[in-house]
Structures are given as C-alpha cells and as structure tokens.
C-alpha cells in the first residue's frame, strides 16, 4: 500500500514538473523529461523484452503523455504570444 502511494506521488510530481517545464518561455526545458525517458527507458525495455512487443505500448504511453502535456501547454503559450503580437500591431 505504501509503495503504491509513493509511486502515485512520484507520478503526480513528474506530471506537475512537466507542466511547469512546458510553460517556460524556452521550448527546450519541456522536452527534457520525454528525452530522458526515450534515452533511458526504451533501451531498458528493449533489453528486457528482446524487441518490440505489447510491453512497448506500456513503455511508450508515459512518453506520449509527457509529449501531450508539452504540446498542450505550448499551444496555449503560442496563442497568447499571437494575441500579444496582435495587440502590438493594433497600437501601431
């Protein structure tokens, strides 16, 4: 029970960290966690399973979730930046 609670807390913290990193002005911080998972997690899964199979879907889901969070946050940032540009153009 304690292990599940700790794992849940870690997952929530990682998701919150991804949201914070994705909302920074620079694009690169939001890509750090997905890159770490791709570089560290997928080779580990390949070594354990011996190649692509059903477990790869399990390995790709967290990466896809982190990238989804990144693109959703960046989309909102992009819209806000476009609105600021439109307001500047209106003032001119």
The 10s digit of each residue's pLDDT in 20-32 is 999 898 889 999 9
Chain centre distance of CA 69: 5
* Closest C-alpha among 55, 23, 27, 32 to residue 42: 55
CA distance 33 to 63: 8
Q: Is residue 7 part of a domain?
A: no
Q: Is residue 6 part of a domain?
A: no
Distant-in-sequence, close-in-space partners of 38: CB < 8 Å, separation ≥ 6? 63
Q: Is residue 22 part of a domain?
A: yes
- Which pLDDT tens digits describe the chain residue by residue (92 residues)? 899 999 999 999 999 999 999 989 888 999 999 999 889 887 887 788 777 777 777 778 899 999 999 999 988 777 888 888 888 877 76
Give how many domains the chain has, as a whole number. Answer: 1
Q: Is residue 3 part of a domain?
A: no
- Domain of 45, in residue numbers: 14-91
């Amino acid at each position: 029970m304690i292990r599940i609670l700790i794992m849940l807390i870690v997952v929530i913290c990682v998701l919150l960290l991804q949201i914070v990193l994705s909302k920074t002005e620079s694009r690169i911080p939001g890509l750090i966690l997905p890159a770490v998972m791709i570089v560290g997690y997928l080779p580990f899964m390949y070594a354990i399973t011996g190649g692509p199979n059903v477990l790869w879907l399990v390995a790709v889901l967290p990466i896809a979730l982190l990238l989804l969070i990144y693109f959703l946050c960046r989309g909102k940032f992009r819209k806000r930046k476009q609105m600021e540009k439109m307001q500047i153009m209106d003032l001119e």
